[in-house]
Chains A and B, each alone.
Chain A
Amino acid sequence: MKERSHFNNEKGLYNFSYEHDACGVGMLVNIHGGKSHEIVESALKVLENMQHRGAEGADNKTGDGAGILLQIPHEFILLQGIPVPEKGKYGTGLLFLPKDEKLQDVVLSILIEEIEKEGLNLMHLRKVPVNSSILGADAHSTEPDVRQLFITGCTDQALLEKKLYLVRKRVEKKIQQTEAVIKQDFYIVSLSTRSIIYKGMLSSMQLRHYFPDLTNNYFTSGLALVHSRFSTNTFPTWSLAQPFRLLAHNGEINTVRGNRGWMEARESVLNSPSLGNIEDICPIIQPGMSDSASLDNVLEFLVASGMSLPHAMAMLVPESFNEKNPISEDLKAFYEYHSILMEPWDGPAALLFSDGRYAGGMLDRNGLRPARYLITKDDMMVVASEVGVMDFEANQIKEKGRLQPGKILLVDTEKGEIYYDGELKKQLADAKPYRTWLANNRVELDELKSGRKIEHKVANYDRLLRAFNYSREDIEKIIIPMSSTGAEPISSMGNDTPLAVLSSKPQILYNYFRQQFAQVTNPPIDPIREELVMSLVEYIGAVGNNILVPDEMHCKMVKLNYPILSNTQLDILCNIRYKGFNSLKLPMLYEVAKGKEGLREAIAHLCKLAEQSVTEGVNYIILSDKNVDTKFAPIPSLLALSAIHHHLVSVHKRVQTALIVETGEMREVMHAALLLGYGASAINPYMAFAVLDDLVKKQEIQLNYETAEKNYIKSICKGLFKVMSKMGISTIRSYRGAKLFEAVGLSEDLSRAYFGGTTTAIGGIGLDEIAEDSAALHHEAFGNDIDDILPNKGIYSYRKDGEQHAWNPETISTLQLATRLGSYKKFKEYSKIVDEKEEPIFVRDFLEFKRNPISIDKVEPAENIMKRFVTGAMSYGSISKEAHETMAMAMNKIKGRSNTGEGGEDAARFTPLENGLSLRSAIKQVASGRFGVTTEYLVNADEIQIKIAQGAKPGEGGQLPGYKVDDVIARTRHSIPGISLISPPPHHDIYSIEDLAQLIFDLKNVNPKAEISVKLVSESGVGTIAAGVAKAKADRIVISGAEGGTGASPASSIRYAGLPPEIGLSETQQTLVINSLRGQVTLQTDGQIKTGRDIVMMAMLGAEEYGFATSALIVLGCVMMRKCHMNTCPVGVATQDEELRKRFHGKHEYLVNFFNYLAEEVREHLAEMGFTKLDDIIGRTDLIVRRTSYTNKKFETLNFSRLLHMPEQASTTAIHHVAKQDHNIESVKDREIIIQASPAIQALKEVSLDYTIANTDRSVGAMLSGVIASKYGNDGLPDDTLNIKFKGSAGQSFGAFLSHGVHFKLEGEANDYLGKGLSGGRISVMPPIRSTFIAEENTIAGNTLLYGATSGQVFINGRVGERFCVRNSGATAVVEGVGDHCCEYMTGGRVVVLGSTGRNFAAGMSGGVAYVWNKNNDFDYFCNMEMVELSLIEENSYRKELHELIRMHYYYTGSKLAKTMLDSWNKYVDQFIQIVPIEYKKVLQEEQMKKLQQKIADMQRDY
């Protein structure tokens, strides 16, 4: 058997646990349970129609996984000659076994033993026929033996079902303890009396062929649930195909690490009357499986314990229930009660579930996955990720709808009933008096008062500041801004200081950690505009025993609205005696003289005390580092907390207590996030409060203490939202203990011992060094007299005696001088300073290459090397026009590529200058704001880059304040001067990997000549994501280092999010090579690359292209002011101020010099190494050795072997770019349209065409528009030149980037992303003519329509999904009902909604106007009022405008509703509400005033 080394890859950076997947899901139910083979057959077709949502491996044959859940086909089984008893009295399911018979015997004997223990019999073991010949090589090599079990011996179906569950769990547990060869191929697919699952490592097309059972006409079922998987990796994972036993999941559980941990911790309190003692089926969550599998494990457990399916689902994936959500108080109480028992499983999710009788679906609270349903008149229901997966006659359709965020839809096939969400939830909420229970037991901390006076100052203040390593910068640059503005400070230009482990100064432990963030496989959340899904509510107290038995005592908890405690609140918490609360304070101190051993013992002692306190019934523990003195130093709070947390989990005592940390160490957001992420329920940062107190007393801030404290806490809370949302998590309860961090520079031993095995890629320090740093700080504080002035440690700004900075006066001035003078000699001085600095800053400083010199004449010329150089994505807007254009000029000259950044590009730059130079940026970026992303922009690209994340602030959005948006910037961004522009944290059309594949497909269609690149940021797991991106057909992947520069970003994001490029790049290289995907993509990297040596190092780690941003700016005059965000750049680089722009003195020649010198240096290094071409060293980590020149005890703890690991596959597969991606755009519908529309395109003649369309026809119109835009630019064709009619269900991105002059008329329905990037075209959608359902009550198009539209018109005769018109900047749209977040981030255009809206209408809307028919008079409840004003439509011009829009809607779609309205206009017009952004109103008024003045002036002239 082949050794599957990558499962536990100890040698390299790839780790199996990083894998992500996303997918297509579908469900077919006969509401009355009528069984037929048609259902099976149709379900398989549904699966096949979603093929594009799955993926295949490098062999283009091995699928990532597909499967189907069906009811047990009793008749079919009998026909196989298996004498099973009657229906429901036997259990069956597929079983995966190792192929080796001896091993099989081992499994079977365990199986039989357990079956018999429960008093059951293994009646029959069927060899399931399979067709192995169709498998791809990878799938084939790991194919298991598939058997079907039949178990009898119990006639009570419910009891048998439970016994089967217990048997399965116990067998799984036993097998887990066997040898690897057995357990890796063993898996019980399902075991039930009701349902059966067929699945495997198959593509959706292969499922039916692999299992001939499924195509047998006697195989019948009343329901079917299908799933096709798109995994980032293609590794042998037969068991991870879905559906699982109860559910199929499309999405990702972001909090799974925490959920798993808490589930383990909770096992001790989960006994229930139904299952009894659960010890022998623990762990409830099967180890080594996917997030979806874990969720399924828990769901199954809850159901087995007696919970109903919807109850369990509502508890696991609750909808948002804070005050911004329109649900009943009883239901809120239901959720609150359950939130005490279990944290949400948070993340994007479309969940379809069935136990064989009930079948249903639900979405996560934010509706981040699509799911549409359709009910026919003969009572069939289809739920799927897309519409059009199954054909129905138009007149057969009774209802079309979509699952909504947080809502459940359920069918009982026995009773033949459909339960909608309202009804289901009401039943759940009314089952127990949750409201009363909460009111009587739950204590709200905010409501408790105490008369005690609490001091904010601390004794020994000055010494303690030093003991906790405070610097003046902490106070001046972090705490003062936080306390005076209530927000985290903004900074710029990246981080060029050493990693904590490389610094020669003592560090606090927090500095060794980095935040993780979501990219591609799940979206970050916008915590500001989508605050309604966010929550910081925490509960402190001990969860009681037997929590599955509903009891009001479970809610005996203290409720906190946010986890930062003021001194007063902490005092109250310490002293509550109310209702028997009882707490214990443990000191986080150790005797400093005892060193490392003292520290170790102190931690062990703390763990013991904590454990003991739980046994004694203490409700919560307060860990405190107060009372540091000359003898005792603080134990790093994170270390103490995490140690205790993990200890309590391991002894199953964690949920019975809560941990509160009272620490002087915590001061900034990252610190708080770490403490919470490693298990704290609340934190009291008393030193930060003492600093505030001191600042107030010294009048350094003009606030009183209370306000300062309030602001400080508020900014921490805001920051926590940001950190959580970066990872796509919305509640602090699921964030707590989820450990969404990784370490850089901590040893694996330390991580395993105290941090629950947090990833740490390059090893590092242990307790010894922690104790040394702690002692050094303690000595600084107590060893000597101290100065009056707290030292400045030079972290944010360079200081001679502070932390080292890579960009310092020497490097900056020498580089500027060298490139300006054109002196290569001077440049060598520069690179010497950089390459041979006295102390290391970056990981690569430890690397050195092997030498084998040849003559430099043999090395390829510099021109070849310079083609691999690109400049970073800096938008015009973040930097000045001068700087932006100079860079483009330089890059075009050396045949490298410059990048537009996310701000669009002036079309004037597309034409070359007279002197032959060109200002056109070869790379056009597509970022989440989609500013200026028109068809014309895209067709003028050599490369289109999808920016998933930015090194300096991965997972975050941005904002260009209105005052920076001048006329020119507004024009290139297709917005209005003076209006703030928001870039959302996620791309709203990329919530998962298959969405990214879709966007790549869209862009490739628009501009088939352009290469598509995807920019990711380095973090652990980025390699796995990159593998997914490669499978999504990107041509190029950029791995950006976290140190990279930025125009503006929260200071903590710059320092604490993401990893150095070396680690991410190397992981990516390794993962792509292991997957045989490396050859089809180009790898690019950036992040503080400065010299030829840096380039060569990155090349050997796997990159073939290199990005320069900060260095390029420095060449052009930047002096690292770090004031980009303030618009005051004194050298005219990063400013729009006209005066300052005059101070820009950069020339493109300087940059040409720079890149020439870099290339020359690369050549020199290549000659040294003995290679003639750069390509020859790409991915050759075997050429790297460790540099020995740096000596320091800390450095010796580092281990680069995983970083430099070369996977064994490297010898058989490509390790650099050799082949092209196959984009599958040869046979798209547009090819045909373009031919037939050629009279229109070539000669501007009117052309009308007719087509049928299916959901597999995706991005229709994109390629056509690309052709038009390359010929006619943004103007497109004249009005109504090309009219195309479609019939059917359009695939995703229908009419994307549609050009002006093209009219798409769709009779049928549409999926997600209709009208994406609309650039002037017109789309109208209406139901099929013969349909009988009421158009305005049914969903006819999907989510995220008109995303980033810049102009054009859309009319839809029906309802649409979430996020309609998100980031629209100029298009007009009329629809008849929308989901949540309509008009989000809109900056221009008109939207008319003739029907109800979902929550959060107009969030972040800064421009444009919307009109909503307020039929139910409740619109204000659904509108986010932060930026907009509501009014009735009084002004005549607006009334006219609305009338015209509705008239057009009627004209283009024939909408009955529109007709009704137009017929009694005066009645309806008063029922409309107009929504205008406040900012926009001002601009409009100014415009009107201008017009008026012009009019007056004109009139005066006439006289």
Chain B
Amino acid sequence: MGNPKAFLTINRKEAGYRPVHDRVNDFGEVEQTLNTSDRMKQASRCMDCGVPFCHWACPLGNKQPEWQHLVYMGKWKEAYQVLESTCDFPEFTGRICPAPCEKSCVLKLSADEPVTIRENEVSIAERAFLEGYIKVHHPERNGKKVAVIGSGPAGLTAANRLNRKGYLVTVFEKNEMAGGLLRYGIPNFKLAKNIVERRIDLMREEGVIFKTGTQIDKLPEGFDAYCIAIGAEVPRDLPIEGRNLKGIHFAMDYLSQQNRLLEGIEVASGKLINAKGKKVLVIGGGDTGSDCVGTANRQKASKVTQIEILEKPPVGYNPATPWPTMYPQVLKTSSSHEEGCERRWSLTSCRFIGDKGILKGVEVEEVTWETGEDGRMQMQLTGKKEIIEADLVFLAMGFVHPVQEGLIKSSKLTIDNRKNITIDKSFKSSVSNVFACGDATTGASLVVKAMAAGRDTAKAIDSYLSSITL
């Protein structure tokens, strides 16, 4: 292990963000990095727990204690090898993972100062690219072909693993560029797109075929197995009065458009959503909402407000979600929030108010939450209503399920009662050589979870294809 007593003398040190006044003017990544010596010191704080809760909390099962130790020892290459053995794309997760590991770190419990696991992870990944530890693999082909539909984190992971195993993998992507949510959903200031491109290029070099701009409504012929990783793209709507007013958008439409623009992809002027000088209201207090806040601020909105229907969570520690929960319900202040945003809680939206078809504001009502008889929280309206002025509203209330039209219907895949694709323990769908993974099977969730599912599906496909003779 690192240094058994380091945690007693060294405090948690985050690299932090670039200064607000600087970062709001561009879409470059906001997070900074520590110098190597500080980074190694941070890694030394890991206590190599007998029961590493971080490792348990990580959907990928990353072996944090092992690579923290290696970072502390300056063995970056070995650290990368251990990291890569569980996590295909640490350069992504190291940037955008909400880090359940840190929430479950024993030092979180002990001193509220978890090890900077996520930052250490990205350091390892960047060091590996920089020092050339990452080499192009040229796997020996086994003659079998797999199609992966969808190039989000789940699809990419499955493709990567299968390719390394010798399968000839073709990844189909409906958008113009590969990466799915990583490419279009996450703002550049959190994940720069050259990072995504670097990985896709590497995969291409290793032999993965990417067919972008290809909408798949029917499974293509000529593959031994299929991996469906189309995500859960249908957003939750807010069907209240005035919903069709101009100026109300789904968050993802807004975010993806901004990413396209930055990529130099043209957007029809009529479709352009620009917050410059506008009053922006984001409905939904989650990460997507926060991303809209950051984007709107960069577009120089005049005012940004974010509302959430639930109560304001406590700051720091919430006894209702004790350690080692991976998702403590505590107030989360993202870099985007710091950049300027009014945040309000316990507000439900009653109607959109417009003038001549153009959005002017939203009527909201204060609510309270009480525990019902069944133990669930129940919402009570208070009657206290008010109007929040807004020129633009972004609906960021989550996603419900994968798009049903097209592939799911044409392939006659069974879906569950939440309209996600049904799979068995080995990730197999109702159709014999069709597997599915990621949000398409679970509903929207974390990137790491999608990657874990992609990895396990690849394993399942491999054992399926190794067991049958073609």
Instruction: Give the size category of A's interface with B.
Output: 20 to 34
Query: Do A792 and B109 form a contact, CB below 8 Å, given A797-B48, A1128-B8?
Result: no
Chain-A contact segment, one of B35-43, B52-60, B340-348:
B52-60
Instruction: Judge if B314 is at the interface, Cβ distance under 8 Å.
Output: no
A787/B110 in contact, CB under 8 A:
no
Instruction: Judge if B265 is at the interface, Cβ distance under 8 Å.
Output: no
Chain-A contact segment, one of B78-86, B255-263, B365-373, B378-386:
B78-86
B4/A1143 in contact, CB under 8 A:
no
Query: Do A817 and B322 form a contact, CB below 8 Å, given A1131-B110, A1143-B110?
Result: yes
Question: Given the complex, which residues of A lie within 8 Å of B324, measured CB to CB?
Answer: 809, 813
B163 nearest CB across to chain A (Å): 15
Chain-A contact segment, one of B61-69, B89-97, B232-240:
B61-69
A1128/B47 in contact, CB under 8 A:
yes
Whole-angstrom distance between the alpha carbons of A1143 and B61 in the complex? 28
B56/A1130 in contact, CB under 8 A:
no
Question: Given the complex, which residues of B lie within 8 Å of A812, measured CB to CB?
Answer: 51
Instruction: Judge if B106 is at the interface, Cβ distance under 8 Å.
Output: yes
Instruction: Judge if A1119 is at the interface, Cβ distance under 8 Å.
Output: yes
Instruction: Judge if A1322 is at the interface, Cβ distance under 8 Å.
Output: no
Instruction: Judge if B111 is at the interface, Cβ distance under 8 Å.
Output: yes
Instruction: Judge if B5 is at the interface, Cβ distance under 8 Å.
Output: yes
B322/A1128 in contact, CB under 8 A:
no
Instruction: Judge if A807 is at the interface, Cβ distance under 8 Å.
Output: yes
Whole-angstrom distance between the alpha carbons of A807 and B51 in the complex? 8
A1119 nearest CB across to chain B (Å): 6
Instruction: Judge if A789 is at the interface, Cβ distance under 8 Å.
Output: yes
A1119/B4 in contact, CB under 8 A:
no
A1123/B47 in contact, CB under 8 A:
yes
Whole-angstrom distance between the alpha carbons of A792 and B109 in the complex? 26
Question: Given the complex, which residues of B lie within 8 Å of A1121, measured CB to CB?
Answer: 47, 49-51, 106
B51/A809 in contact, CB under 8 A:
yes
B51/A1130 in contact, CB under 8 A:
no
B50/A1123 in contact, CB under 8 A:
yes
Instruction: Judge if A1216 is at the interface, Cβ distance under 8 Å.
Output: no
Whole-angstrom distance between the alpha carbons of A754 and B327 in the complex? 55
Whole-angstrom distance between the alpha carbons of A792 and B86 in the complex? 12
Question: Given the complex, which residues of B lie within 8 Å of A1143, measured CB to CB?
Answer: 110-111
User: Most chain-B Cβ atoms within 10 A of its Cβ — which of A493, A820, A1121, A1126?
Assistant: A1121
User: Most chain-B Cβ atoms within 10 A of its Cβ — which of A472, A817, A1119, A1131?
Assistant: A1119
Question: Given the complex, which residues of A lie within 8 Å of B61, measured CB to CB?
Answer: 799-801
B63/A799 in contact, CB under 8 A:
yes
A1129 nearest CB across to chain B (Å): 9
A493/B50 in contact, CB under 8 A:
yes
Whole-angstrom distance between the alpha carbons of A1122 and B51 in the complex? 8
Cross-interface CB contact of B51 among A787, A817, A1119, A1137, cutoff 8 Å: A1119
Instruction: Judge if A36 is at the interface, Cβ distance under 8 Å.
Output: no
Cross-interface CB contact of A792 among B4, B63, B106, cutoff 8 Å: B63
With an 8 Å Cβ cutoff, the count of chain B residues facing the other chain is 31
A805/B63 in contact, CB under 8 A:
no
B-facing mask of A1091-1127, CB < 8 A → 1, else 0?
Answer: 0000000000000000000000000000111110010
Question: Given the complex, which residues of B lie within 8 Å of A800, measured CB to CB?
Answer: 55-56, 61
Closest chain B residue, CB of each to CB of A797 = B50
Query: Do A799 and B55 form a contact, CB below 8 Å, given A788-B81, A792-B63, A813-B324?
Result: yes
Whole-angstrom distance between the alpha carbons of A1137 and B51 in the complex? 21
A1126/B55 in contact, CB under 8 A:
no
A1121 nearest CB across to chain B (Å): 5
Question: Given the complex, which residues of B lie within 8 Å of A345, measured CB to CB?
Answer: none
B4/A1130 in contact, CB under 8 A:
no
Instruction: Judge if B189 is at the interface, Cβ distance under 8 Å.
Output: no
Instruction: Judge if A721 is at the interface, Cβ distance under 8 Å.
Output: no
Instruction: Judge if B107 is at the interface, Cβ distance under 8 Å.
Output: yes
Query: Do A787 and B4 form a contact, CB below 8 Å, given A812-B51, A817-B322?
Result: no
Instruction: Judge if B184 is at the interface, Cβ distance under 8 Å.
Output: no
Instruction: Judge if A590 is at the interface, Cβ distance under 8 Å.
Output: no
Question: Given the complex, which residues of B lie within 8 Å of A817, measured CB to CB?
Answer: 322
A1122/B55 in contact, CB under 8 A:
no
Count of CB-CB pairs between chains A and B under 8 Å:
90
B111/A1130 in contact, CB under 8 A:
yes
A1128/B4 in contact, CB under 8 A:
yes
B52/A797 in contact, CB under 8 A:
yes
Instruction: Judge if B226 is at the interface, Cβ distance under 8 Å.
Output: no
A502 nearest CB across to chain B (Å): 20
User: Most chain-A Cβ atoms within 10 A of its Cβ — which of B8, B51, B78?
Assistant: B51
Whole-angstrom distance between the alpha carbons of A323 and B49 in the complex? 45
Instruction: Judge if B352 is at the interface, Cβ distance under 8 Å.
Output: no
User: Most chain-A Cβ atoms within 10 A of its Cβ — which of B49, B85, B107?
Assistant: B49
Instruction: Judge if B7 is at the interface, Cβ distance under 8 Å.
Output: yes
Question: Given the complex, which residues of A lie within 8 Å of B52, measured CB to CB?
Answer: 797-799
A1122/B110 in contact, CB under 8 A:
no
B63/A1130 in contact, CB under 8 A:
no
Question: Given the complex, which residues of B lie within 8 Å of A820, measured CB to CB?
Answer: 322
Cross-interface CB contact of B53 among A788, A1119, A1128, cutoff 8 Å: A1119
B376 nearest CB across to chain A (Å): 15
A1119/B49 in contact, CB under 8 A:
yes
Cross-interface CB contact of A1130 among B55, B104, B106, cutoff 8 Å: B106
B63 nearest CB across to chain A (Å): 7
A1123/B4 in contact, CB under 8 A:
yes
Whole-angstrom distance between the alpha carbons of A820 and B324 in the complex? 14
Question: Given the complex, which residues of B lie within 8 Å of A1126, measured CB to CB?
Answer: 4-5
Cross-interface CB contact of B66 among A472, A788, A796, A1123, cutoff 8 Å: A472
B50/A1122 in contact, CB under 8 A:
yes
B82/A789 in contact, CB under 8 A:
yes
Question: Given the complex, which residues of A lie within 8 Å of B85, measured CB to CB?
Answer: 787, 789
B286 nearest CB across to chain A (Å): 25
B66/A792 in contact, CB under 8 A:
yes
Cross-interface CB contact of A1139 among B8, B47, B81, B104, cutoff 8 Å: B8
Question: Given the complex, which residues of A lie within 8 Å of B78, measured CB to CB?
Answer: 789
Within 8 A of A (CB), among B307-335: 322-324
Within 8 A of B (CB), among A1120-1157: 1120-1123, 1126, 1128, 1130-1131, 1137, 1139-1140, 1143
Whole-angstrom distance between the alpha carbons of A789 and B324 in the complex? 29
B73 nearest CB across to chain A (Å): 8
Instruction: Judge if A808 is at the interface, Cβ distance under 8 Å.
Output: yes
Whole-angstrom distance between the alpha carbons of A1140 and B111 in the complex? 9
Question: Given the complex, which residues of B lie within 8 Å of A1120, measured CB to CB?
Answer: 49-51
Closest chain B residue, CB of each to CB of A1122 = B50
Question: Given the complex, which residues of B lie within 8 Å of A792, measured CB to CB?
Answer: 63, 66
B-facing mask of A61-72, CB < 8 A → 1, else 0?
Answer: 000000000000
Whole-angstrom distance between the alpha carbons of A800 and B61 in the complex? 7
Question: Given the complex, which residues of B lie within 8 Å of A788, measured CB to CB?
Answer: 81
A798/B4 in contact, CB under 8 A:
no
Closest chain A residue, CB of each to CB of B73 = A700
A798/B50 in contact, CB under 8 A:
yes
Whole-angstrom distance between the alpha carbons of A871 and B82 in the complex? 41
Within 8 A of B (CB), among A794-828: 796-801, 805, 807-809, 812-813, 816-817, 820
A-B pairs with beta carbons under 8 Å apart, 26 shown: A787-B81, A792-B63, A797-B65, A798-B55, A798-B56, A801-B61, A808-B56, A809-B53, A809-B324, A812-B51, A817-B322, A1119-B53, A1119-B106, A1120-B49, A1121-B49, A1121-B51, A1122-B51, A1123-B47, A1128-B4, A1128-B47, A1130-B107, A1131-B110, A1140-B8, A1140-B110, A1143-B110, A1143-B111
**Additional 7 contacts, C-beta under 8 A, given A1126-B4, A1128-B4:** A800-B55, A800-B56, A809-B324, A1120-B51, A1121-B47, A1128-B7, A1128-B8
| Closest CB pairs A-B (n = 6) | A1122-B50, A1130-B110, A809-B56, A800-B61, A1120-B51, A798-B51
Interface of B with A (CB < 8 Å)?
4-5, 7-8, 47-53, 55-57, 61, 63, 65-66, 78, 81-82, 85, 104, 106-107, 109-111, 322-324
Interface of A with B (CB < 8 Å)?
472, 493, 787-789, 792, 796-801, 805, 807-809, 812-813, 816-817, 820, 1119-1123, 1126, 1128, 1130-1131, 1137, 1139-1140, 1143
